[in-house]
Amino acid sequence: MDDSYVQERLDILEKSGLQVFAIANHLTGQAVCDDPIDERHRDILSDEVWGNGDPEGVRQRAAEAMKDTARAAARLGVKTVTGFTGSSIWKAVAMFPPASEAMIERGYQDFADRWNPILDVFDEVGVRFALEVHPSEIAYDYWTAKRALEAVGHRESFGLNFDPSHFIWQDLDPVMFLQDFAPKIFHVHVKESIRQLNGRNGRLGSHLPWADPRRAGTSSPQAMAT
């Protein structure tokens, strides 16, 4: 971002009586660790990040874009970036065929190897990254959040974006999550979550689109808070 663009954005905020406390880059972050990289990613990524679609190239360009996101946040005076990390082991969430502990450990190591250099840039510019704990990420529930924090050594620049709507249909206790992870919650999303468990709707979603009433749950648009 050039200086004039940054100042224009800041002027718009000031004129409108608004402030910005966080910026988000979920879709690009998703591609940093995901395996496979496929047509789903082509639909959510910029042309620059997608490039020729070579999976490892996509991951590396996504990582560089996340570093630039930290730099952009710092230029805007923003201290928190929210987003996704992706995961090379989400594909094993059903645990069948059985995933070995070694395979799962490699997934967390891959996450650490790819995100630590990104977090180094966050450290350099004084910005924090808040992972939204969400299905398809390296952290999607209580225990995976704990393991993700451990994987990067609880470094100060890495924390969590608390969005309890993703917990409701998993039967997780948002209050317990808040109590145990409070020091690492950098940002909050607030929205309504509707649980629709009726004996036919399954928690895994049945390959149905978001908001389909045959899914076990859905969420409304969100408001955000620091």
Q: Is residue 9 part of a domain?
A: no
Let me know the angle formed at the C-alpha of 34 by 133 and 173, rounded to the nearest 5 degrees: 15
Q: How far apart are CA 65 and CA 71, in angstroms?
A: 10
State pLDDT tens for residues 89-147: 999 999 899 999 999 999 999 999 999 999 999 999 999 999 999 999 999 999 999 99
110: closest CA among 91, 97, 127?
Answer: 91
State pLDDT tens for residues 5-54: 889 999 999 999 999 999 999 999 999 999 999 999 999 999 999 999 99
The dihedral of CA 221, 142, 171, 185: what is its sign?
Answer: negative
The Cα-based distances of 188 to 32, 69, 132, 182, 198 in angstroms read 23, 19, 9, 11, 29
Buried b (16+ CB within 10 A) or exposed e, 167-182: bbbeebeeeebeeebe
Structure tokens that stand for 120 in this block: 């180094």
Q: What is the CATH number of the domain that holds 173?
A: 3.20.20.150
Give phi and psi for 31, each to the nearest 5: -80, -5
Give phi and psi for 51, each to the nearest 5: 60, -125
Q: Is residue 5 part of a domain?
A: no
Q: How far apart are CA 75 and CA 97, in angstroms?
A: 47
Domain count, the chain: 1
Q: Is residue 66 part of a domain?
A: yes
Q: Is residue 199 part of a domain?
A: yes
| Residue-level pLDDT at 211 | 80
Q: Is residue 13 part of a domain?
A: no
Q: Is residue 53 part of a domain?
A: yes
**Residue 129, H or E segment:** strand 128-132
Q: What residues make up the domain containing 25?
A: 18-225
**Residue 41, H or E segment:** helix 39-42
Q: How confident is the model at residue 222 (pLDDT cuts 50, 70, 90)?
A: low
Q: Is residue 194 part of a domain?
A: yes
Q: How far apart are CA 149 and CA 154, in angstroms?
A: 5
Number of Cα atoms under 13 Å in the Cβ half of residue 172: 24
Q: How confident is the model at residue 215 (pLDDT cuts 50, 70, 90)?
A: confident
Across the range 74-79, mean pLDDT stands at: 95
